[in-house]
Structure 1
């Protein structure tokens, strides 16, 4: 390699790194398969979220790092308009505790970025930047009485607006190698950044008239934003066998530093790690112009105490085995079809089904995080402006779903006094990306 070629390559990676940092600064909001996105990359999103055995672009580092060895030299930049609609309601409770509210935060811009360079025909180096998860709710205050007078409290008997904002952003440098012509392996170190804020949960901060819920008073709510950082890894394999491709990937648990401002909220003194995920997938070339693909993914939410511990845990909030959101592990099935309609136009469609992480006896805390959608349909299209440049669009609709159960306030106020609660959500997203091959 000449000195000029090496300098050009360093400059390309520097530009890619700057773009990644700019995207990382914007944060992300997703909540489809639990709190992970139904797919990563607009081509994947338009095809039900498949991608383990079918690498489309430089976003492959978020699905299966082994796929980066197949996508060539390219850069992909996109943005998704994500619109989740959330609501919560309590009924049948003691006077002053019944009410309902809708979250006022409904529109979010979610960026994505991928860059890949083939160092040799069998070796690639790239970087993928994506939202690893996140949720945002923003309920108005003043629906309830809660013993302080009419229209003075929010749905969780705190004061002012009620809501949570969790943003997670992952930067994944990726190396992929083909040990044989039709087989590749890849690895991605995962560098993740989180920001978190909770407002309106004063009733759980050892407030007067309420039980002592937390082990660390003053570190539960209304402390502004806190941040944490962590590291994990993703590995993957991809093999092609005539018209069939098979892929597998594993993402480790990402161990994050604690949210010290909320050490009285999350189990383990503010510990909020990101769960492990693993997936397998197949892709079949049904005809020269039609490809079918399917992925199965499991997300280990129950392994993270702050997420998986029951909200009815007898330990106080923030303790080593303190209450969490009570989420179960989920299995997500991704199905997709791609049709090369013409040299310039590619059409896609897909379906995604995920099991529900929230069960009936865990509704109260999940008013803050009502991730109950299960069924998604998607559409997508790519249009080639030239041999090097392509525009891709993707649409997703997640059908409305709800979960109802007895309120945790029954344990505080007496059987029946807390009534029954219900949380609901449906979603839409529409995204666009531009790709450049070089």
Structure 2
């Protein structure tokens, strides 16, 4: 009964405000322990977020329930040199819930579920830079449910699989027809459902070295029928395929170091990967490197820190480059709607273990300010998009 109620809460909360975009429209990590280590979680076996990180890890997680929420604050700004205007987006605070549960069915078999929010292509500019009616902005919310099966194929090696079930909701307002410059009537919210799969492997190679890998297919969603004019392929907006590789080293009895590599293939989703001239947002594929450290101070306190770096999915182009036919021409102007220009994150976190064995975990993230500028072929000026972010999250975990 407790599990059912918590799951229902997470589903409703997730639909209310999933807006965590920091590596494109992916979060920097899932689960507060991962977020405290900049998302380096491919080999993490002490929470129930394997469905979002590495399904195989849940074979070693035991019986537990993790419930968390993040207060996420992205600060977005856009400017146009012609006509000389700069505006900051409103809607600066979002609550992002997440949930994980795992149960050890036997020594080798574990079943569980992970529920997380994704998305974050959210802007709300009080001044319409495109010249349309009213405010300018878009709102994308995504909820991903990942039931998980993990199995130990040997005492120190496991595999796992998580079918991915998704729901997303989208709205755009204040847009204009790029050919005529006339305002487009607001269509309100539209939603769609999708599916995919994540598979993973985890191996404890030595008593101090663990390796892991996970692959997630593209999540195929129904089309946004109200926005078949905005997204390519009749309103198709999918979550791109991605994979991660990781290794961790128990350097001492107290200190563990983790290194992850993540690849997100935005080019496989035409709505975001195609060039603006072809009707897309022009996102490049990204490579993310995550480094995390975990230090067990004593039996009650565990401290964490991390840093991650990624290449920018959005590129700018000068007037000369646009004249030469650069594929990056128009990307900045288009992505005023979704200025996903973050490259670097620093994180801190801790877990406090109570006398009952239950855990209280917190994580803080700062995404350093970055901006990208590019030529605007309509105005003849230069457009700039800029963003920085902060988040503070808390998670309570029940050991069962």
The answer to whether TM tops 0.5 is yes
Q: Tell me the CA shift for residue 62 of structure 1.
A: 0.7
TM-score, structure 2 normalization: 0.94
Corresponding residue number in structure 2 for 1:81: 71
Is 1:346 the counterpart of 2:302 in the alignment? yes
Which segments of structure 1 move beyond 4 Å, counting only runs of 4 or more?
Answer: 205-208
Corresponding residue number in structure 2 for 1:229: 193
Q: Tell me the CA shift for residue 205 of structure 1.
A: 7.9
Corresponding residue number in structure 2 for 1:300: 265
Cα distance in 2 between the residues matched to 1:75 and 1:408:
53
Quick one: which of 220, 239, 250 aligns to 1:255? 220
Corresponding residue number in structure 1 for 2:154: 180
Cα distance in 2 between the residues matched to 1:177 and 1:229:
29
- Assess if the C-alpha contact under 8 Å between 1:44 and 1:56 holds in 2: no
Quick one: which of 149, 154, 159 aligns to 2:133? 159
Query: Is the partner of 1:291 in helix, strand or coil?
Result: strand
Please give the residue correspondences for 1:408-419 in structure 2 after superposition, counting only pairs within 5 Å. 408-409=377-378, 417-419=379-381
1:418/1:335 Cα in 2 relative to 1: closer, same or farther (>3 Å)? same
Query: Is the partner of 1:202 in helix, strand or coil?
Result: coil
Q: Which has the larger radius of gyration?
A: 1
| Aligned positions, number | 386
Cα distance in 2 between the residues matched to 1:348 and 1:60:
19
Q: Tell me the CA shift for residue 16 of structure 1.
A: 5.3
Q: Tell me the CA shift for residue 206 of structure 1.
A: 4.8
- Assess if the C-alpha contact under 8 Å between 2:10 and 2:97 holds in 1: no
Q: Tell me the CA shift for residue 207 of structure 1.
A: 4.9
Which shows bigger deviation, 55-64 or 297-306? 55-64
Corresponding residue number in structure 2 for 1:422: 384
Deviations 1:343-371 (A, max 9, x none): 00000000011110000031011000001
Query: Is the partner of 2:272 in helix, strand or coil?
Result: helix
Is 1:113 the counterpart of 2:99 in the alignment? yes
Q: Tell me the CA shift for residue 302 of structure 1.
A: 1.1
Corresponding residue number in structure 2 for 1:368: 337
- Assess if the C-alpha contact under 8 Å between 1:54 and 1:245 holds in 2: no
Corresponding residue number in structure 2 for 1:202: 176
- Assess if the C-alpha contact under 8 Å between 2:15 and 2:141 holds in 1: no
Please give the residue correspondences for 1:326-405 in structure 2 after superposition, counting only pairs within 5 Å. 326-360=282-316, 361=329, 362-405=331-374
- Assess if the C-alpha contact under 8 Å between 1:137 and 1:165 holds in 2: yes
Is 1:140 the counterpart of 2:126 in the alignment? yes
Q: Tell me the CA shift for residue 23 of structure 1.
A: 3.7
Cα distance in 1 between the residues matched to 2:27 and 2:248:
21
RMSD: 1.5
Is 1:310 the counterpart of 2:275 in the alignment? yes
Gaps of 5+ in 2: 317-328
Corresponding residue number in structure 2 for 1:281: 246
Gaps of 5+ in 1: 1-10, 142-153, 211-217, 314-322, 410-416
Corresponding residue number in structure 2 for 1:51: 41
Corresponding residue number in structure 1 for 2:29: 39
Quick one: which of 60, 66, 70 aligns to 2:60? 70
